[in-house]
Amino acid sequence: MAEGILVVLDQENGRVRRVAYEMLSRAQEIAAGTVTALTFGPGAETLAETLGRYGADQVVALTGDAFTRYSSDGWAEAVRQVVEVIDPVALFFPATAWGKDLSPRVAGLLEAGLATDCTEIHPSEGGRLEAVRPVYAGKAFQRVRIDTPRQLFSLRPNIQPVIEHGRPGQLRPVTVSVSPDQFQAVVTAVENNAGGTVELTEADIIVSGGRGIKAPENFKILEGLAEVLGAALGSSRPVADEGWVPHSYHIGQTGKVVSPTVYFAVGISGAIQHLAGISGSKYIVAINSDPDAPIFKAANYGIVGDLFQVVPHLTEEIRRLKE
């Protein structure tokens, strides 16, 4: 009978995102069988020890020509072949852009159910798993059980705690038969708009600007605050649509879903479509000149005031405290 959990994760030159450790930690806590990490590309084979420490009993590293550049259809087929060998009862994917692209294709190939963007995952009856995921733009939570033999889940980053299990993982050789010549789509280049700053979906602190900043050059006020806090920068949709910031900053229902410890909403009114992307934040701090702005209903801390006065003061005060 199938058991165990296959955790599918992306890596670059032997480095993984924090969400990889979060998924492995949770998998190790709840798996009835072996936890296998599956990863791809140059450097993947160096990860066995690290991934083992966070919960991988074994690591499958797919390397070679087919895995130097991401291909949705090609890599999904590779995952399907690994599933045939490992025979897991569940697969975990990160709910990142990469995982959101790959997981539905794997679900299609396996004819399996997929619960996306889960914030909780628990053991359930009969060795099955049950997940919790936000619905209706974060206004409600849904409990999901999947009836197909394989159960697929994508897990929202920054939610599960990272636990060190302290045992080394082992490389498990698995051969798959996929050829780059047959791939229908391949990613040929990746441009990093964020210029080396912290990735939004994994950031612990986010400073986010809305239309209240009034002009693109004013975004530097927020950059100053982000810098002293070591925070990532985000924005509401209109600010990205206007071209004041790159589209990669856009947070909300149609943008990125974030779950930082602290989210600063600066000059953001708090439209439901924006709140949909930030409901996983532990603390929301709103800075807005309108005391009736809806963001104050969602915020844990609110500052009613002109952002052009409040933000520089806050930045200076934090800088002073850090010295």
Maximum C-alpha span of the chain: 63
Sequence-distant (≥ 6) Cβ neighbours of residue 194 within 8 angstroms: 200, 232, 233, 246, 248
Structure tokens at 261: 């410890």
Residue 3 touching ligand FAD (CB under 6 A): no
Q: Check the annotation: does 272 bind a ligand.
A: yes
Tokens 């990735």 found at: 199
Q: Strands, E, within 185-294: which ranges?
A: 205-209, 232-235, 262-266, 283-288
Among residues 39 and 315, whose Cβ is nearest to ligand FAD?
315
Sequence-distant (≥ 6) Cβ neighbours of residue 37 within 8 angstroms: 7, 9, 20, 24, 47, 51, 56, 58, 59, 60, 169
Among residues 4 and 210, whose Cβ is nearest to ligand FAD?
210
Residue 280 touching ligand FAD (CB under 6 A): no
Residue 288 touching ligand FAD (CB under 6 A): yes
Distance between CA atoms of residues 117 and 215, nearest Å: 33
CB of 111 to ligand FAD, least distance (A): 32
- Which residues from 201-260 bind ligand FAD, rule CB under 6 A? 210-212, 236-239, 252-255
CB of 258 to ligand FAD, least distance (A): 11
Residue 197 touching ligand FAD (CB under 6 A): no
Residue 302 touching ligand FAD (CB under 6 A): no
- Residue numbering of the annotated binding site for FAD: 211, 236-237, 267-274, 288
Where do contacts with ligand FAD occur on this chain (CB under 6 A)? 210-212, 236-239, 252-255, 267-269, 271, 273-274, 277, 287-290, 293, 306-308
